[in-house]
Structure 1
Amino acid sequence: MFKKFKNIIRQIHLWLGLGTGLIVFVVSITGCLYVFEEEIREATQQARLYVPLQQKPFVGLDKVIASFEKAAGKEKLTVIRISNYIPNATVEIASKNKIFYFNPYDGTLVYKGGHDWLDTVEEIHMTLLMGETGKFIQRWAVVVFVLMLISGWILWFPRQMRLLKQSLSIKWKGSFKRVNYDLHNVLGFYASWILIVISVTGLFFAFKEVKTAASFFTGSKLSNGKAQQSVKPAVIEPLAMRYNTIYKNISLQYPGAVLTSFSVRKGGELRLRLIYPYRWARNQNTFFFDEASGQLLRAKLYKEFNGADLIEATNYDLHTGRLFGLSGKILACLAALISASLPITGLLIWLKKKRKR
Structure 2
Amino acid sequence: MPRLPFDPYRFAWPIVRMLDPEVAHGLAVRALETGLVPTPPPVDDDVLKVRLWNLLFPNPVGLAAGFDKDARVYGQMLDQGFGFVEVGSITPQPQPGNPKPRLFRLESDHAVINRMGFNSEGHAASVARLQHRDRARGIVGVNLGKNKNTEDAAADYEIGARTFAHLADFMVINVSSPNTPGLRALQGAEVLRDLLVRTKEALSAGAAEHGVQRPPLLLKIAPDLTDEDKADIAQVSLDVAIDGLIVTNTTIERPATLTSVHKGEGGGLSGRPLFEASTRVLGEMYAATKGKMVLVGVGGIENGRDAYEKILAGASLVELYSAMIYHGPGLAARINRELAEILKADGFASVLHAAGQKGA
TM-score (norm 2): 0.25
Larger Rg: 1
User: Per residue, is there more helix in 1 or in 2?
Assistant: 1
- Between 1 and 2, higher relative CO (CA 8 Å, sep ≥ 6) is seen in 1
TM-score (norm 1): 0.25
